[in-house]
């Protein structure tokens, strides 16, 4: 091999109780390359990179940096060795400026700060790689894409030769992602090694020089990009063929199940959360909401479910005004919600499956026996739901926190779908699920749609939105910047709408 290796991981094994997260994995990064680490959720990508960046200590195996064996005991050691990681959740301090965040905790930071010098240094650094940023801006003023840029600059400033990015595009619009890729290519061209963790096949094709595929903790292949196509990669990643069947087109009914008229609401901070939202969802239709996370998606789901107060405008379910009704009343009118945060809102981690499955129904006559809950009926209902929705669990009496993400989502969907709602709100329904579980959830949603349920699908994954939706609405800054029928929409246009440019080309304020 002519190109020198910056970092080499040899036979890395990392075990967690009950799982081998990394099993004898070999991985290396060449000078000047972009190396994509591909795998499903839970395949061990993040663990492997956490080992490299000093967060975890491997149970077995060695890490070589520039040919020398290193014992990385903390992220600090890793940074000293020239390895920097940009995590999915940014580690920035909102009330500090960009420059302050970058120098924070760095070894070269002097006792007394010369703001001008530092900013000059940083300006040079960011310019070299085209990382446009206002160094004196406060972090809370920045967009998600800009925050990510700050994290990258931080790592470059600390002299990282190897830069690891964990699912960097998850929070970006397609255009922002393209810009990030350009920046990464520039850094690679300057001789640094870039590792990008992802589970999206199209990203591999877009930026990789090489790709390593992880499956269940094992590195199944390391290949040059030229030698592969998306199909092969999917096969390597899942270990079997995945068939994405095309769905049946059923013209939606004309009955409006959900209608929002000029709905406004406040965000948690008391600012405008949603502004003048106007749309309807029809019977037997999936209405997809696209947008970068944090642009009003959660507020929208909560408003429709009655969990957030409407602050102007009207909310109608099946033609009746339900504005201002309690969550329970709205639930009784046939609205079900699969919340974004499964264990935090949708389920009770420490209670068993039976208790979790009666959460919406425990007041119903069927489950009543005087003031008591009829445990026998509750149990047999739970058993039926578990069988019908193929939830695999150890026992109905075990706390649900022991279940896997895919099974938790099935359990949640089982409960919400069994309540036979007119409208199902699904927020990020497949977040964190592997390909098979994702397909199962999607099939369930499509099946319900065929049976006439109206579904409001909120997702940050455009592929998912395109695959399932009949119509697509785009949220940006709490406004609906456009509604398009799925056939007529293309990803470029949706991307523009996600950034706040409406269909006429003007920028929405």
Partner 1 sequence: MIIRGTRLTIEKRLVPSSSAYLLIPIFSIFMALLVGSIFLYFSGHEPVAVYYKMFKGAFGSRYGITETIVKAIPLTLVGLGVALAFRMQLWNIGGEGQLYMGAFAATWVALTFPEGSVWWVMPAMIALGMLAGGLWALLTAIPKAIWGVNEIITTLMLNYVAILWVDYLVYGPWKDPAGFNFPLTAVFSDAATLPGLFDSRVHAGLFFGIVAAIILYLVVYHTRWGYEIRVTGENPGAARYAGMNTTRNIMLVMLFSGALCGLAGMSEVSGIGHRLQHGLSPGYGYTAIIVAWLSRLNPFAVILVAILFGGLQVGGFIVQTSGIPSSMVYMLQGLLLFFVLGGELLTGYRLNRVPATGEATK
Footprint of partner 1 (CB under 8 A):
17-18, 59-60, 62, 69-71, 305, 307, 326-329, 331, 337, 339, 341, 344-351, 355, 358-360, 362-363, 368, 371-373, 375, 398, 402
Taking the complex as a whole, the smallest distance from the CB of residue 240 to partner 1 amounts, in Å, to 27
Nearer residue to partner 1 within complex by CB, 61 or 477: 61
Taking the complex as a whole, the smallest distance from the CB of residue 345 to partner 1 amounts, in Å, to 4
Taking the complex as a whole, the smallest distance from the CB of residue 348 to partner 1 amounts, in Å, to 5
Taking the complex as a whole, the smallest distance from the CB of residue 452 to partner 1 amounts, in Å, to 24
Taking the complex as a whole, the smallest distance from the CB of residue 21 to partner 1 amounts, in Å, to 13
Nearer residue to partner 1 within complex by CB, 144 or 351: 351
Distance CA(28)–CA(211), nearest Å, equals 11
Nearer residue to partner 1 within complex by CB, 37 or 81: 81
Asked if residues 39 and 215 have their Cβ atoms less than 8 Å apart, the reply is: yes
Specify the DSSP class assigned to residue 246: P
Distance CA(203)–CA(156), nearest Å, equals 23
Taking the complex as a whole, the smallest distance from the CB of residue 193 to partner 1 amounts, in Å, to 22
- DSSP for 330-346, please give it: HHHTTEEEE-S-IIIII
Distance CA(248)–CA(441), nearest Å, equals 17
User: What would you measure as the largest C-alpha separation in the chain, in angstroms?
Assistant: 79
Taking the complex as a whole, the smallest distance from the CB of residue 430 to partner 1 amounts, in Å, to 20
Asked if residues 58 and 36 have their Cβ atoms less than 8 Å apart, the reply is: no
Chain centroid, CA 63 distance in Å: 30
Nearer residue to partner 1 within complex by CB, 47 or 438: 47
Chain centroid, CA 76 distance in Å: 28
Nearer residue to partner 1 within complex by CB, 170 or 331: 331
DSSP-based three-state secondary structure for 127:
helix
Nearer residue to partner 1 within complex by CB, 78 or 484: 78
Nearer residue to partner 1 within complex by CB, 25 or 496: 25
Dihedral sign from CA coordinates of 475, 481, 482, 486: negative
Query: Number of helices (H) and strands (E), helices first, in the chain?
Result: 16, 22
Tell me how far CA of residue 183 lies from CA of 148, 149, 187, 423, in angstroms. 12, 10, 6, 43
Q: How many residues does the chain have?
A: 509
Give the chain's end-to-end CA distance (angstroms, integer).
53
Taking the complex as a whole, the smallest distance from the CB of residue 368 to partner 1 amounts, in Å, to 7
Distance CA(470)–CA(483), nearest Å, equals 11
Distance CA(424)–CA(468), nearest Å, equals 14
Nearer residue to partner 1 within complex by CB, 231 or 368: 368
* Token pair listed for 498: 């996600």
Taking the complex as a whole, the smallest distance from the CB of residue 192 to partner 1 amounts, in Å, to 25
Among 248, 255, 125, which Cα is nearest to 190's? 125
Taking the complex as a whole, the smallest distance from the CB of residue 206 to partner 1 amounts, in Å, to 38
Distance CA(113)–CA(104), nearest Å, equals 11
Nearer residue to partner 1 within complex by CB, 114 or 326: 326
Asked if residues 305 and 488 have their Cβ atoms less than 8 Å apart, the reply is: no
Nearer residue to partner 1 within complex by CB, 376 or 388: 376
Nearer residue to partner 1 within complex by CB, 55 or 348: 348
Taking the complex as a whole, the smallest distance from the CB of residue 75 to partner 1 amounts, in Å, to 16
Which value, in Å, is the radius of gyration of the alpha carbons in the chain?
25
Nearer residue to partner 1 within complex by CB, 144 or 367: 367
Asked if residues 75 and 85 have their Cβ atoms less than 8 Å apart, the reply is: yes
Tell me how far CA of residue 445 lies from CA of 182, 290, 439, 450, 470, in angstroms. 37, 17, 10, 9, 12
How many other β-carbons are positioned within 10 Å of the β-carbon of residue 242?
Answer: 14
Nearer residue to partner 1 within complex by CB, 70 or 466: 70
φ, ψ for residue 376 (rounded to 5)? -65, -50
Taking the complex as a whole, the smallest distance from the CB of residue 59 to partner 1 amounts, in Å, to 7
Taking the complex as a whole, the smallest distance from the CB of residue 398 to partner 1 amounts, in Å, to 8
């Amino acid at each position: 091999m002519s190109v020198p290796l910056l970092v080499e991981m040899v036979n890395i094994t990392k075990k967690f109780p009950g799982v081998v997260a990394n099993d004898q994995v070999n991985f290396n990064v060449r000078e000047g390359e972009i190396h994509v680490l591909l795998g499903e959720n839970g395949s061990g990508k993040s663990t492997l990179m956490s080992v490299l960046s000093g967060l975890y200590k491997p149970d077995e195996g060695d890490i070589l940096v520039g040919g020398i064996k290193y014992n990385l005991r903390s992220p600090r050691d890793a940074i000293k060795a020239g390895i920097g990681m940009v995590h999915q959740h940014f580690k920035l301090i909102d009330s500090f400026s960009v420059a302050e965040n970058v120098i924070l905790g760095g070894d070269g930071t002097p006792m007394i700060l010369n703001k001008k010098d530092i900013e000059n240094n940083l300006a040079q650094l960011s310019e070299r790689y085209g990382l446009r940023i206002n160094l004196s801006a406060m972090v809370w003023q920045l967009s998600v894409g800009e925050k990510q840029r700050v994290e990258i600059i931080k790592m470059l400033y600390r002299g990282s030769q190897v830069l690891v990015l964990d699912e960097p595009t998850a929070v970006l619009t397609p255009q922002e992602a393209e810009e990030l890729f350009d920046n990464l290519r520039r850094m690679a061209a300057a001789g640094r090694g870039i590792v990008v963790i992802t589970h999206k096949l199209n990203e591999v094709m877009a930026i990789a020089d090489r790709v390593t595929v992880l499956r269940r903790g094992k590195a199944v292949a390391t290949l040059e990009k030229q030698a592969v196509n998306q199909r092969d990669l999917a096969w390597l990643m899942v270990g079997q063929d995945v068939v994405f069947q095309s769905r049946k087109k059923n013209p939606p009914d004309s009955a409006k199940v959900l209608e929002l008229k000029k709905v406004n609401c406040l965000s948690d901070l008391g600012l405008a959360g949603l502004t003048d939202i106007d749309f309807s969802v029809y019977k037997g239709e999936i209405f997809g909401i696209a947008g970068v996370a944090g642009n009003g998606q959660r507020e929208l789901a909560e408003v429709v479910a009655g969990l957030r107060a409407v602050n102007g405008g009207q909310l109608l379910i099946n033609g009746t005004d339900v504005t201002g009704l309690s969550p329970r009343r709205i639930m009784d009118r046939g609205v079900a919600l699969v919340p974004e945060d499964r264990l935090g809102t949708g389920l009770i981690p420490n209670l068993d499956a039976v208790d979790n499955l009666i959460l919406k129904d425990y007041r119903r006559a069927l489950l009543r026996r005087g003031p008591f809950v009829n445990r026998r009926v509750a149990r047999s209902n739970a058993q039926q739901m578990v069988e019908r929705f193929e939830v695999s669990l150890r026992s109905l009496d075990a706390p649900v926190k022991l279940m896997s993400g895919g099974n938790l989502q099935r359990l949640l969907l089982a409960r919400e779908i069994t309540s036979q709602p007119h409208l199902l709100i699904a927020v990020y329904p497949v977040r964190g699920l592997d390909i098979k579980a994702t397909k199962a959830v999607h099939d369930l949603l499509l099946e319900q749609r065929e049976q006439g349920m109206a579904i409001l699908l909120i997702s940050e994954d455009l592929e998912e939105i395109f695959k399932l939706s009949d119509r697509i609405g785009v949220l940006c800054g709490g406004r609906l910047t456009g509604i398009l029928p799925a056939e007529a929409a293309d990803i470029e246009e949706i991307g523009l709408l996600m950034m706040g440019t409406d269909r006429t080309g003007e920028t929405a304020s």
